[in-house]
Structure 1
Amino acid sequence: MTAIDFPDDLIELERSAWDEIQRGALTVPTAQAVHEAVAAYAEEAGLARIDVEMGLKRIVRHPETEQAD
């Protein structure tokens, strides 16, 4: 997959969701905000939503793999 240059606000939003997931406290508003932001970014960038979502999750949840690429 091609590296995507994610905006900082999108990364921070995913980090907030990941933190809530890890605490077992993911809220609907947080999940909705991430979903909408990912979809908007994907459309704006001309990318598949799933590629944006998976790439974003990868850099937030597994930052060590980004260093290897």
Structure 2
Amino acid sequence: MAIELTDELIQLRRAADEARARATAGPYSAAAWRPWMEAAEAVQVAVTEHAAATGQNRFEVEKALVTAAKASPAA
């Protein structure tokens, strides 16, 4: 069974990945890392809600999401 993902979920994960890149580009500071932590939390909540709503395994959804977010965006 293929894991179903939404474009919104993929974009949310990409935004969290971008926030991580910005946070880790310089020296640590709580203020610099806060956007990443908030974005990562939002992804976790969205994955959990999506898995529950679609009857999919939460861990399989997250695994598929990581792969999909790393793929090149559609042109």
- Judge same fold: TM > 0.5, yes or no: yes
Q: Distance in 2 between matches of 1:59 and 1:3?
A: 13
> Which residue of 1 is the match for residue 11 of structure 2?
12
What runs of 5+ residues in structure 2 fail to find an aligned partner?
A: 25-32
Structure index of larger Rg? 2
Q: Quote the RMSD (CA, aligned, Å).
A: 1.7
Alignment map for 1:33-52 (pairs within 5 Å):
33-52=42-61
By relative contact order (CA 8 Å, sep 6+), the higher-ranking structure is 2
Q: What residue ranges of structure 1 are gaps of 5+ in the alignment?
A: 65-69
TM-score in terms of structure 1 length: 0.76
Structure 1 stretches of 4+ with a deviation exceeding 4 A read none
Q: CA deviation at 1:27?
A: 2.2
How far off is 1:46 after superposition? Answer: 0.7
TM-score normalised according to structure 2 size: 0.71
Code of the residue aligned with 1:44 in structure 2: it is A
Count of equivalent residues: 62
The offset of 1:59, in angstroms, is 0.9
Identity %: 32
